[in-house]
Amino acid sequence: MTLDPFRLGLPFLRFLEPEMAHSATLLGLKSGVTGFLRPKPDDPALAVNLFGLAFPNPVGLSAGFDKNAEVPDQMLALGFGFVEVGSITPRPQSGNPRPRIFRLPNERAVINRLGFNNEGHDAALSRLEKRPHRHGIVGVNLGANKDSEDRQADYVQGVEVLGAHASYITVNVSSPNTPGLRALQGRDELEALIEAVDRARRTLANDPPVLLKIAPDLIDEELEDIAQVVSGSAIDGLIVSNTTIGERDRISGPHAAETGGLSGRPLFDLSTRVLSEVYRLTKGKLPLIGVGGIGSGADAYAKIRAGASLVQLYTALIYEGPGLVTRIKADLLKHLQADGFANVADAVGADHA
């Protein structure tokens, strides 16, 4: 039996207020606890080549866990195929008043209204610059400051400041916790934003892929608009989805009425439906990253069959601990093999066939 230091710490973390538990987890990770871990090399059937990047496996860490790019290498060491840091805004900001993260353990869910609390571009830059060896795929998720007068400029600045250190860039216009942010998903604003971000990334030597992260709460017409705008645009892929402001009938308990974005298990059906719809609208031509409520290999496999080339998760990690990553990869492999798929790419969109 291998010693899993996280299993030892996990029951204790549950007694802490959620944000304190998160800080304790980051502290533990920074103290070098992952130095014990030697994840097995991934089965070649799990490898994905996309955006000119070689993902060892399709299971990524979603944005929000490592907002300030403090522990990307530690999270890669847990077996994630890629890690997305952020969201990062130009200037540091403290976010909404606490408490602002709520656990809903019965539903394996979380409501958060953090509001892009982060240390800003410069702090993230100095950490990304210092990464000892830049192995592994680390995406940088960009946000806009709450009090920004020109949000488009915030994303452009993010590309200019952090793009050279990003395996890919995510333009996050879907957080429900910054008032007005999601209006950037509208047709005209989105077109202008994509153009501006594209101009900025083309000035960089590494010309990083740019992904757009969308909300699961868009109505059909809005999804159609987005699909039309991104098809044939400079956007390399979509991340579907962020947290939801809906699905409240799926949760109960003392925190069910808290304002904020809901993530975890109750988000799975909705985000997978939207993923499937986006795959259909973009005719399977645009790479999609499926995120929302993944807690098992079967969930990851369902996202892939619905149209995702890669997946991400965050909330399930809070309940299951980091051993989950290895379990998901092993189960996903079994599902692929059972259905006769040679690799992940072969199963992408299988439900649409």
Ligand X SMILES: Cc1cc2nc3c(=O)[nH]c(=O)nc-3n(C[C@H](O)[C@H](O)[C@H](O)COP(=O)(O)O)c2cc1C
Q: Given the rule CB under 6 A, which of 47-55, 108-116, 132-140, 321-329 is the region that contacts ligand X?
A: 108-116
Tell me the C-alpha distance between 197 and 101, whole Å: 31
* Nearest residue (beta carbon) to ligand X: 64
* 293: contact with ligand X by CB under 6 A: yes
Nearest distance in Å: CB 36, ligand X: 25
Helices (H), 85-150: 120-130
* 89: contact with ligand X by CB under 6 A: no
Q: Which is nearer to ligand X, 6 or 116 (CB)?
A: 116
* Amino acid identity, position 319: Y
Tell me the C-alpha distance between 19 and 30, whole Å: 17
Inter-residue contact 217 to 245 (CB < 8 Å)? yes
Angle between helices 5-13 and 18-30 (to 10 degrees): 160
Q: Given the rule CB under 6 A, which of 32-40, 56-64, 71-79, 248-256 is the region that contacts ligand X?
A: 56-64
Of residues 6, 67, 167, 333, which one binds ligand X by CB under 6 A? 67
Nearest distance in Å: CB 118, ligand X: 7
Inter-residue contact 162 to 142 (CB < 8 Å)? yes
Tell me the C-alpha distance between 313 and 141, whole Å: 14
Contact positions with ligand X (CB under 6 A) in 169-228: 172, 175, 213
Angle between helices 120-130 and 151-162 (to 10 degrees): 20
Q: Given the rule CB under 6 A, which of 62-70, 145-153, 195-203, 320-328 is the region that contacts ligand X?
A: 62-70
Nearest distance in Å: CB 226, ligand X: 16
Query: Does residue 175 have an active-site annotation?
Result: yes
* 108: contact with ligand X by CB under 6 A: no
**Cis link prior to 99 (omega < 30° from 0)?**
yes
Nearest distance in Å: CB 320, ligand X: 11
* 124: contact with ligand X by CB under 6 A: no
Nearest distance in Å: CB 169, ligand X: 12
Inter-residue contact 83 to 137 (CB < 8 Å)? yes
Inter-residue contact 307 to 327 (CB < 8 Å)? no
* 264: contact with ligand X by CB under 6 A: yes
Tell me the C-alpha distance between 42 and 300, whole Å: 16
Beta-bridge mates of residue 213: 172, 239
Binding site for ligand X (CB under 6 A): 62-64, 67, 86-87, 101, 110, 112, 114, 141, 172, 175, 213, 242-243, 263-264, 267, 291-294, 313-316
Q: Which residues are catalytic?
A: 175
